[in-house]
Structure 1
């Protein structure tokens, strides 16, 4: 038979001992300071030992109190972790809405690393460019492009995007200066104004900014560039893997900062959910391996 003191008294002691303050312990446990004091005295009576030395407003642990705290804190930590794992299973998979190009070019090639770290967390992705106002519960998290201003949501920057021409190494050999872009096919994503803005930014004249085909997804633009169909105005964060592998190169050094960045967003109440916290930590770590401003 287990001889265990009342759980409420143990929680009161553990919180009070960690903070060395009954007031802060009361705030943590959402009770009154008097309730914490009463429960600690109840525990001391139950154990027959003095756990705290009270000197006016100063609170200190006795030697026995300190030893008891060292034993109890890991127990409460394990109970919390076990409860979180149970809650995670009850909650089901983590549902994430992702921009299609971000998913194709950047997220999916890295996803196996997350699975290796957290094989027990099931992920369900929804690839869409449509805006989600987070007022419904279809998703738990989202990866979106914008200015980071979503009312009521926690938003953390993954990367600031920049735009620069990219193409195959073979095609790059034909481009001695930005003016040579008039000799090749320009590849666009929509809306079809990126090339005009980049040419103005780089001070290039005599190039038809509207020439060439347009695609409704940035990943398709990069795919066409990889196939040698022309020069794409690449989003450098999304093109990072192609540039690192040498499938694409930057024929010119000028990179135009984009107003929008990529953001991880989720409702604030979900921040403590284990799956949300794990995916957030992993995603920020992966994004941090690349410069925010390429």
Structure 2
């Protein structure tokens, strides 16, 4: 029978000892500093030895702590390598699930740039708004909208999102002030309260913001606006290419922040896999270089 302390306590000790900081260990493991301290205390009680000398906020390993760290670090590295090998595939495409609106409006037009950089990496994209929990192996990466809190996943924030009215250039000529929105059709997707909040902030009262047609996809709303069917409360990141090309204009400067951001997520063991790392590096660079600050 193996005599092994709780794995969580071992991880907390190893990270805290390696950094000589419970705060940095907490950041690495995505927990609180108090949780790290509690886990280390639990481990010391389990072992019946002191692993740290605590002098105020300073940490120092005891002799037994030094010896224990020397043994644990290679063990965790071996577990990490074993898990990575489990996820590795000798051949096959990089499988990505992407929100339909993000795929059509932003990602697909830029994929040729990735192909030129990495012609040896084949991509398989699935356009879906389905909430995938990564408990199966259908996909390697996901691009989703949310708060970035997905248990067990590594999440990289791509961009904050903001909402603002956008429309065709011909329709924009009719809009001198936000109150002129009463004269046009308002387009929206879900959730529907965005227009109401934007209009309230712009001082436009007593207007039925939900009278216009609704779409179940942000990309469809933008396409309807491009074709002059009304004014959309557009997601500016998704509208950026149409704004730059002049197919859409932003008639008013007022922007409504969105609570959700766009994120790239994947299981933590895939962090160092070559194709995952290549796509992640390319995507983060593309988002950084893409300007969404289109002027009205």
TM-score by length of 2: 0.69
- Aligned counterparts of 1:105 and 1:164: Cα–Cα separation in 2: 16
Aligned: 1:210 with 2:240 = no
Q: 1:122 to 1:28 in 2, by over 3 A?
A: farther
Gaps of 5+ in 2: 1-66, 76-83
- Aligned-pair distance for 1:207? 2.3
In the other structure, the counterpart of 1:177 is 177
Tell me, yes or no, if the aligned pair for 2:240 and 2:292 is still in contact at 8 Å: no
Q: 1:277 to 1:28 in 2, by over 3 A?
A: farther
User: Pick from 25, 30, 33: which aligns with 2:74?
Assistant: 30
Runs of 4+ more than 2 Å apart: 26-31, 290-294
- Aligned counterparts of 1:292 and 1:212: Cα–Cα separation in 2: 26
- Aligned-pair distance for 1:293? 7.8
Q: Secondary structure at the match of 1:30?
A: helix
TM-score by length of 1: 0.69
Q: What's the Cα RMSD here?
A: 2.2
Instruction: State the Cα deviation string for residues 204-262 of structure 1 (Å, max 9, x = none).
Output: 21322111100000010000000000000000000000001111000100011100000
Structure with max Cα Rg: 1
Tell me, yes or no, if the aligned pair for 1:162 and 1:293 is still in contact at 8 Å: no
In the other structure, the counterpart of 1:119 is 119
- Aligned counterparts of 1:28 and 1:271: Cα–Cα separation in 2: 21
Q: For this pair of structures, how many residues does the alignment match?
A: 216
Gaps of 5+ in 1: 1-22, 32-83
- Aligned counterparts of 2:169 and 2:207: Cα–Cα separation in 1: 21
In the other structure, the counterpart of 2:263 is 263
- Aligned counterparts of 1:213 and 1:200: Cα–Cα separation in 2: 20
In the other structure, the counterpart of 1:143 is 143
Q: 1:29 to 1:192 in 2, by over 3 A?
A: closer
Q: 1:181 to 1:139 in 2, by over 3 A?
A: same
In the other structure, the counterpart of 2:110 is 110
- Aligned-pair distance for 1:168? 0.7
- Aligned counterparts of 1:286 and 1:28: Cα–Cα separation in 2: 39
